[in-house]
Amino acid sequence: MERIVFLERKTIDAHFRRPGFDHEWIEYPETTAGQVVDRVRDATIIISNKLSLGELQLSNARDVKLIAIAATGSDCVDLNYCKERGIAVCNVRGYAVNAVPEHVLMMILALRRNLLAYRADVQAGLWNQSKQFCLLTHELHDIRNSTLGIVGHGAIGKAMAGLGESIGMRVLISEHKNATKVREGRTSFADTLRQSDVLTLHCPLTDQTRDLIGSDEFQMMKRSALLINTARGALVDDAALIDALQNGLIAGAGLDALREEPPRHGNPLLDLKLPNLIVTPHVAWASREAVQTLADQVIDNLEGFIAGRPQNLLT
């Protein structure tokens, strides 16, 4: 019988059907870092989300054979250690191919149309005092015929490209930063930065992508460009982004991820009171439809593994 331990049940607001194999199901609403070792000690299958799982947490979990990440990102799990131990790791994929691109589009629309700035002006009574029927205090820009640069061409990046094209945007798919060769259908990283009116990030956080966008990159971007990051906070250098926003190196930014989540110790980006910065609390993925798809896929992953047909494996 399998002993399934779900460490962070409250992070997934969806129904989880029980797997169709003999098992014991143990779930915890949340788990602190200090509780992990004890809770996984006798597990054969671990379901996790954002908790760190590596040698420190797993060395005494001698029976664990599968870690099922209830997310796509795997940077919280030490894949090398798991591979050495023979622990299979799987993730969920494609569940947010509608949710995340729609969230990105929402941010693009709000920033290109200066929605927050206009809302603040109306609340301040500026429209009441206008000598014209309308209040034109901020620039407005169309999306159609603008250029969308996409960094990261997995399932969500591909879906974002399709959405961008459907509303008349010219889409560029970025080559890897520092790549020596540009693949067919891609645009060099530098040229993507230079040409994009909107740059949106959909790549995983790795040693190669950490601080992918910093001071040098902001200098290359159009002064009228937007940066959207719904992937991982550490893809962007916070200090460089603050400088870019405060000094007009870019026109605005939309963020759905920060370096520390939740930002219990604060974050300087949250202190900025700028109408051209939108920060949402890592919810781009979390439409009701997407979350249920995620939950169903987690169980599919478990059943496939036990049946000898593993899927979505990372190790």
Told to judge if 9 belongs to the known catalytic residues of this protein, a careful annotator would answer: no
DSSP, res 202: -
What is d(CA 314, CA 25) in angstroms, rounded to the nearest whole number?
A: 23
Q: Which residues of 161-187 are buried (b: 16+ CB within 10 A; e: fewer)?
A: bebbeeeebebbbbbbbeeeeeeeebb
What is d(CA 269, CA 262) in angstroms, rounded to the nearest whole number?
A: 13
Q: Hey, what are 141's tokens?
A: 């820009």
Told to judge if 18 belongs to the known catalytic residues of this protein, a careful annotator would answer: no
List, in order, residues 6 or more apart from 118 with CB less than 8 Å away: 135, 137, 138
Strand partners, 67: 46, 89
Strand partners, 224: none
Please identify which residue in the block is written with the tokens 């190790």: 315
Report whether the peptide linkage leading into residue 29 is cis, meaning its omega lies within 30 degrees of zero: no
148 burial class (0-12, 13-18, 19+ CB within 10 angstroms)? Answer: buried
Question: 233 with 258: CB under 8 angstroms?
Answer: yes
Told to judge if 232 belongs to the known catalytic residues of this protein, a careful annotator would answer: yes
Q: Hey, what are 199's tokens?
A: 């740059």
* CA atoms within 13 A of residue 46's CA, in its CB half-sphere: 32
What is d(CA 50, CA 261) in angstroms, rounded to the nearest whole number?
A: 9
Q: Hey, what are 302's tokens?
A: 């478990």
Catalytic residue among 261, 264, 265, 309: 261
Please identify which residue in the block is written with the tokens 């729609």: 102
Catalytic residue among 282, 288, 289, 309: 282
Give the residue numbers annotated as catalytic, written as ranges.
232, 261, 282
